[in-house]
């Protein structure tokens, strides 16, 4: 299910919401100019559009592999080779996996603390201070 990010046009508070494409279409029809923000600022939550374009892997030194890699294929091949070396050295099965840093669930990120972080950021911004979270 897609994850949508909304930001208040007045205080800058952000909200993340999961909804299906159909629910998102209904949301856009109901709030074409933004949804009223429930906090004290009386602003509107506007959808923030994020784009991620993968241009492929550029040649770089991989500290995990201790070698230079120039493509996804070479990275995965080296990862597999190193996995085999570790299995032979340690004597038990080892499985290395690549994780997309944009995939919060795969990276082990949870919603725990999200509400308190948003409240702290809102309090900082409403006091006229620059946010430390952005």
Q: Give residue-wise pLDDT tens across range 80-116.
A: 999 999 899 888 888 887 777 667 666 666 666 666 6
Rounded to an integer, what distance in angstroms lies between the CA atom of residue 131 and that of residue 11? 11
pTM, 2 dp: 0.39
Rounded to an integer, what distance in angstroms lies between the CA atom of residue 105 and that of residue 121? 23
Domain ranges of the chain: 3-52+108-126, 55-101
C-alpha distances out from residue 6 to 17, 63, 92, Å: 8, 36, 46
Determine the pLDDT at residue 108: 64
Rounded to an integer, what distance in angstroms lies between the CA atom of residue 131 and that of residue 134? 6
Rounded to an integer, what distance in angstroms lies between the CA atom of residue 82 and that of residue 67? 11
């Amino acid at each position: 299910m897609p994850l949508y990010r909304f930001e208040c046009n007045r205080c800058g508070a952000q909200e993340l919401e999961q909804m299906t494409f159909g629910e998102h279409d209904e949301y856009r029809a109901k709030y074409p100019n933004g949804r009223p923000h429930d906090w004290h600022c009386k602003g509107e939550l506007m959808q923030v559009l994020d784009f991620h374009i993968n241009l492929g892997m550029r040649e770089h030194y991989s500290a995990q592999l201790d070698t230079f890699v120039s493509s996804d294929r070479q990275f995965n091949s080296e990862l597999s080779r190193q996995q085999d070396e570790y299995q032979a050295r340690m004597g038990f099965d080892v499985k290395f996996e690549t994780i997309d840093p944009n995939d919060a669930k795969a990276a082990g990120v949870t919603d725990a603390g999200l509400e308190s972080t948003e409240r702290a950021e809102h309090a900082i911004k409403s006091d006229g201070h620059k946010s430390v979270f952005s």
